[in-house]
Amino acid sequence: MKSLKIFVVIILSVWTQWTFAERLKDITSVQGVRENQLIGYGLVVGLDGTGEKTKYTEQTFRTMLARFGINVPQGSQLKLKNSAAVAVHATLPAFAKAGQTIDITVSSLGEAKSLRGGTLLMTPLRGANGKTYAIAQGNLVVGGFGALGSDGSKISVNHQTVGRIPNGASVEQTVSTNFLSNDFLVFNLNKPDFTTAVRVAKAINLLVGSQTAKPIDQTSIQVNAPRDPAQRINYLSVLENIDVKPAESIGRIVVNSRTGTIVIGKHVNLKEAAVAHGNLIVKIKENQDVSQAEPLALQGETVTTQDSQLDIEQENNRMFHFKPGATLQQLVEAVNSVGAAPGDVMAILEALKQAGAISGELVVI
Residue ranges per domain, the chain?
18-32+178-244, 36-171, 252-280+315-364
Return the pLDDT at 261. Answer: 78
pLDDT of residue 332: 65
Measured CA to CA in angstroms, residue 109 lies from 43, 57, 115, 126, 159 at distances of: 10, 9, 11, 18, 14
For 231, the 3-state DSSP assignment is helix
Q: How far apart are CA 347 and CA 216, in angstroms?
A: 40
Instruction: Tell me if 95 sits within 8 A of 177, measured CB to CB.
Output: yes
Q: Give the model's pLDDT for residue 311.
A: 52
Report the alpha-carbon distance of residue 318 to residue 314 in Å, rounded: 12
Q: How many CB atoms lie within 10 A of CB 85?
A: 24
Fold of 18-32+178-244: Aspartate Aminotransferase, domain 1 (3.90.1150)
pLDDT at 214: 94
> What pLDDT shows up at residue 206?
92
* DSSP code at position 176: P
pLDDT at 255: 81
Q: What angle do CA 295, 301, 304 make, to 5 degrees?
A: 110
Decide: helix, strand or coil at residue 275.
Answer: strand
Residue 295: the pLDDT is: 63
Distance (Å, whole) CA 237 – CA 164: 33
Q: What confidence score (pLDDT) does residue 56 get? A: 76
Print pLDDT tens along the chain (365 aa): 444 343 334 344 444 444 478 899 999 999 988 899 999 999 999 898 888 877 778 888 888 888 878 887 777 777 778 889 999 999 999 999 999 999 999 999 888 888 888 999 999 999 999 999 999 999 999 886 555 555 555 555 667 889 999 999 999 998 888 888 888 999 999 999 999 999 999 999 999 988 899 999 999 999 999 989 899 999 999 999 999 998 887 788 888 877 777 777 777 777 776 666 555 444 445 456 666 666 655 566 666 665 545 454 545 555 556 566 566 566 666 666 666 666 777 777 777 777 777 777 888 87
C-alpha span between 51 and 354 (Å, rounded): 56
- Nearest residue to 343 (alpha-carbon basis) of 279, 284, 275: 279
